């Protein structure tokens, strides 16, 4: 026996389909909301980890640059000390050569 589709039966089918779609849509909304919350938590965790890593790297870089600055300052001080020593030695050699030349000239004058 074949049943006929009456307006009441079609309306009932339409209502049940709407209810099922509404239920599925509600379930999907809940799932998407849960996924959104989980993603937000994960991104927040990753962002926190990245902030910590960047802070650590920044600290290491600052320490490295400070160390380089100290080394450069120490090198400048060392170069200044070397320059003073070279000037003193050079002045001493010049004085010694002048003294030697005066002695040689003195000998030459006394000999002739």
Distance separating alpha carbons of residues 73 and 68, to the nearest angstrom: 9
pTM: 0.46
Give the 3-state DSSP-derived string for 15-66, with helices as H, strands as E and coil as C. Answer: HHHHHHHHHHHHHHHHHHHHHHHHHHHHHHHHHHHHHHHHHHHHHHHHHHHH
Q: State pLDDT tens for residues 35-92.
A: 999 999 999 999 999 999 999 999 999 999 999 999 888 888 887 888 888 988 988 8
């Amino acid at each position: 026996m074949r049943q006929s589709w009456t307006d009441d039966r079609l309306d009932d089918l339409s209502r049940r389909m709407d209810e099922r779609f509404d239920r599925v849509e509600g379930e999907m909304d809940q799932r998407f909301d849960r996924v959104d919350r989980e993603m937000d938590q994960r991104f927040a965790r990753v962002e926190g980890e990245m902030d910590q890593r960047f802070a650590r790297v920044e600290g290491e870089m600052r320490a490295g640059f400070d160390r380089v600055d100290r080394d450069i300052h120490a090198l400048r001080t060392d170069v200044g000390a070397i320059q003073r020593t070279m000037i003193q030695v050079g002045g001493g050699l010049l004085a010694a050569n002048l003294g030697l030349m005066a002695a040689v000239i003195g000998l030459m004058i006394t000999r002739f």
